[in-house]
Structure 1
């Protein structure tokens, strides 16, 4: 996180914390990562030691980590505990299954992995296709269907991240329906159970995308608009923040100090990918 942004968060944090203390009901904080591999954090990659520090920060904050579906149900029912958090990963990298998931299991923490169903056919992620370094190619490997199934049998929750990870708001109705419906169907066939959650690729969503998710049978939809989820937030456009490398930034996320950035998040989610 940039120094100036962190400085603003440090200033607004006491105000946000005070407002949350006065709230009559508890909200839900969603946080996310993409992959956990290597020694350092770089872009989509989180270093293993950094990831452990993130989990230490969650524990130090007093987070009550819940399974995603349970957390959303309790949000709607008004029965969330104080400092409720759900953990998520996007895309379906092998490092999530073979590195992050065992670490979380050791600590008894649940998580949801949102999978691009196209990887079940052995496809690499399009944004990694240019990579030629053998070492990095190994780190960027998507999980196989067998790996995902084995992790799911151990308790890993799996949701949809569409078929091919497109920018959903620009799709025509038929293609949007394909991305939503076929991804869910492929994952359900693999897992032998219902898949009811979806994370919108790059956080791209609008009312039409949300309606398509509802029509496809999803009950939980995840954006990248930062902030606390209250009972006034639609369950198919829940707010979530990705975790920067520094645990200090995660603490600011948990306290809601980066919520002032949500107008930027909303502009990106409606206007186009940030790149």
Structure 2
């Protein structure tokens, strides 16, 4: 880092240190990503491309103290977390995490934790990705509520990106909370309307092992990414335990952290699932509530948020604003 950069960043680091103190008053920021694309995708504009992710990581390396998640959680409890502490996490297990994100993390010296759903490895595809890829390929027209249960009205598929983005989000919202078999049936019917859907979106076993070999943490994220509140208790427990067992077999190492699928308190997981994760022996778990975690935060409900801003100043402002929101538990 050049002396000019150090001098320019000094006032901001001081401000960040005041908003994100360490020690006994420590506040931990945890960021959540899913994918890093090679180039910008007009149909999914909130997903960072490689250039934007590189800027994010360089900024974190310059102005924050990036730490591995397990170390950060331990030091938060001990009262030894440094000021400006931040963790980077990824959910689901996309192939671009290994192919694109990993080299950029290594270039910036930023560690990360990857929460992987084992059921999609080696050629799987999550339902939301199927929806986006179908909408990308559908001809202009209309989908009716008869075709997609959960739609309130006919859904237009226009030519432009804005129309297709709206359509994809509407479809995901319509089917997301359906019973898994019903959701799969609806998405399967949509997929049958197009050709050449990608089968390489998710990691291979080799890519997962490469992340682990590079020193990145691997965390549990169930087998099939169910919405736990819509899943029978015995099945939910088997999903949580089975996902970890599959990962441990692949990397030959303990898996000690967990991310609740979708992660919204109450809607996607409940107190009974927090108890399961604790009873199964995980060290910590993360959710998708905004805010920062403090020593009093339930370590099985640590806050995370998504920094989607494309400009450095807006990214910094979002980090500062998020630091004001203390997250204790759901």
How many Å separate the matches in 2 of 1:17 and 1:103? 25
The structure carrying a bigger helix percent of its residues is 1
How many Å separate the matches in 2 of 1:166 and 1:117? 12
Post-superposition CA distance 1:3-23 (Å, at most 9, x none): xxxxxxxxxxxx998665699
Q: CA deviation at 1:137?
A: 2.8
The two structures have a TM-score, normalised by structure 2, of: 0.68
Note if contact 2:292-2:323 (Cα within 8 Å) is conserved in structure 1. no
Post-superposition CA distance 1:200-238 (Å, at most 9, x none): 111132211101111222111000111111001011000
The equivalent of 2:256 in structure 1 is: 196
How many Å separate the matches in 2 of 1:45 and 1:155? 24
Aligned residues: 249
The two structures have a TM-score, normalised by structure 1, of: 0.81
Establish whether residue 53 from structure 1 lines up as the match of residue 55 from structure 2.
yes
Q: 1:135 to 1:241 in 2, by over 3 A?
A: farther
The equivalent of 1:34 in structure 2 is: 34
The equivalent of 1:74 in structure 2 is: 75
How many Å separate the matches in 2 of 1:79 and 1:91? 30
Aligned to 1:137, the other structure's residue is in SS state coil
Q: CA deviation at 1:261?
A: 11
How many Å separate the matches in 1 of 2:207 and 2:20? 40
Larger Rg belongs to: 2
Q: Give RMSD over aligned pairs.
A: 2.9
How many Å separate the matches in 2 of 1:250 and 1:172? 40
Q: 1:22 to 1:166 in 2, by over 3 A?
A: closer
Q: 1:21 to 1:161 in 2, by over 3 A?
A: closer
Q: CA deviation at 1:174?
A: 0.6
Q: CA deviation at 1:129?
A: 2.5
Structure number with greater CO (CA < 8 Å, separation at least 6) is 1
Q: 1:186 to 1:207 in 2, by over 3 A?
A: same
Q: CA deviation at 1:153?
A: 1.2
- Structure 1: segments with no counterpart, 5+ residues: 1-14, 267-275
How many Å separate the matches in 2 of 1:21 and 1:208? 32
